[in-house]
């Protein structure tokens, strides 16, 4: 009888240790698609370090969101997180698990196209200069704005009877537009330039205001409704929050923008929007099993990838460095 009790206690103890390890230290995750190639291949299994950004306490249904030893998420990290857009499951840690790399942290400004893809090429860098015209009578006002915004003065490049011409980067023009509350009288000379297609996307951060624009109002509305639990709607092209029209939105959480390595795969922020801090489980750390999909029981194993640290490949690092140098701007 005593022997039976010892066996039962041992089994219960082992089960508790496994539950604690999975809930508080690390867990295993199956890579479901080709979205993270070449860093991670489909059907690989990885260990997720739950302490990389502080431990998110399990059983969120009981006591909500709490994180021990909270630390910021660096860019380039490959994140494992719960689906931010699952409306059918109210408890965050019960939702399906996604994986993507972090390319935007709270407060960042990214340049996006009409499909919300981040554009990393040098051609579209925020520091590249373009020609702008403005009314001649606004010359003194412009000088004052440049001084307030700490934008280095630039020389007058041309003028006629009504217009003056100067050059500004996209980011400088964005700052000027912000200062003018959207009533910007500085216009690009070449209307059809690609700069008219790309738009700045500010990643929301806790306590900071994000200006509402035509290209981000739907994204902001969805974020407010899903993650801030506020009543928000768009009427007559105007965003209303708690029944009032707004030009700026405030957030109580930090958010992140994530991207798949394979741009054709839309299982990233282009599909589900910002990832809130309370949805992040941890960092993809180690590959513990790797086998080619569709192979037999005795072949297809990638032995050289077992127990390998998860990291971006060289080509991906170069691409991210270009992205970061171009778009790592604070609003």
- Write the pLDDT tens digit of every residue in 114-146: 888 887 655 455 567 788 889 998 888 888 888
pLDDT of residue 158: 77
What lies within 8 Å, CB to CB, of 101 at 6+ separation is 36, 39, 76, 77, 78, 79, 258, 259, 260, 261, 312, 316, 320
Kindly give the residue spans of alpha helices, DSSP state H, lying in the chain: 2-24, 60-63, 139-148, 170-179, 217-227, 269-272, 314-327
Greater model confidence, 80 or 148 = 80
Mean pLDDT of the chain: 83
Rounded to 5 degrees, φ, ψ at 62 are -80, -45
pLDDT of 309 strictly over 80:
yes
Of residues 275 and 191, more confidence is placed in 275
Q: Whole-structure pTM over 0.85, yes or no?
A: no
Q: What is the pLDDT of residue 328?
A: 43
- Domains of the chain plus CATH, in order, are 22-107+256-330 (2.10.109.10), 122-196 (3.30.70), 209-250 (no CATH)
Provide mean pLDDT across the span 218-231. Answer: 96
Percent of the chain with pLDDT over 70: 80
Mean pLDDT of 205-213: 94
pLDDT higher than 80, residue 303: yes
CB 256 within 8 A of CB 79: yes
Residue among 266, 181, 271, 170 at smallest CA distance from 219 = 271
Q: 179 vs 128, which has greater pLDDT?
A: 179
The confidence score (pLDDT) of residue 124 equals 54
The pLDDT, as a whole number, for residue 1 is: 57
Averaged pLDDT for residues 257-278? 87
**Percentage of the chain modeled with pLDDT above 90:** 44
Identify the band that residue 175 occupies on the pLDDT scale cut at 50, 70 and 90: confident
- Distance between CA atoms of residues 268 and 258, nearest Å: 6
Per-residue pLDDT, 169: 82
The pLDDT of residue 284 is above 80: yes
């Amino acid at each position: 009888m005593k022997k039976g009790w010892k066996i039962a206690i041992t089994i219960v103890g082992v089960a508790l240790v496994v539950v604690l390890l999975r809930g508080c230290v690390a867990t295993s995750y199956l890579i479901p698609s080709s979205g993270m190639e070449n860093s991670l291949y489909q059907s690989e299994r990885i260990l997720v370090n739950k302490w990389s950004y502080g431990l998110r306490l399990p059983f969120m249904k009981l006591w909500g969101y709490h994180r021990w030893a909270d630390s910021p998420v660096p860019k380039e990290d490959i994140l494992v997180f719960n689906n931010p857009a699952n409306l059918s499951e109210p408890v965050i840690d019960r939702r399906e698990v996604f994986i993507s790399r972090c390319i935007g942290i709270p407060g960042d400004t990214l340049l996006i196209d009409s499909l919300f893809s981040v554009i990393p090429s040098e051609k579209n860098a925020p520091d590249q200069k373009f020609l702008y015209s403005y009314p001649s009578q606004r010359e003194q006002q412009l000088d004052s704005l440049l001084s307030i915004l700490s934008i280095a003065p630039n020389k007058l490049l041309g003028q006629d009877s009504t217009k003056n011409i100067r050059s500004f980067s996209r980011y400088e023009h964005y700052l000027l537009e912000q200062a003018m509350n959207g009533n910007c009288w500085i216009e690009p000379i070449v209307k059809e330039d690609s700069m008219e297609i790309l738009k700045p996307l500010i990643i929301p951060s806790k306590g900071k205001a994000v200006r509402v624009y035509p290209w981000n109002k739907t994204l902001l509305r969805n974020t407010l409704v899903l993650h801030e639990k506020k009543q928000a709607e768009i009427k007559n092209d105007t965003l209303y929050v708690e029944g009032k029209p707004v030009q700026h939105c405030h957030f109580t959480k930090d958010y992140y923008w994530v991207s798949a390595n394979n741009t054709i795969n839309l299982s990233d922020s282009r599909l589900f929007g910002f990832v809130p801090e309370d949805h992040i489980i941890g960092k993809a750390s180690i590959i513990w099993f790797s086998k080619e999909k569709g192979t037999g029981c005795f072949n297809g194993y990638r032995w050289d990838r077992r127990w390998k640290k998860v990291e971006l490949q060289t080509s991906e690092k170069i691409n991210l460095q270009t992205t970061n140098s171009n778009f790592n701007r604070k609003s």
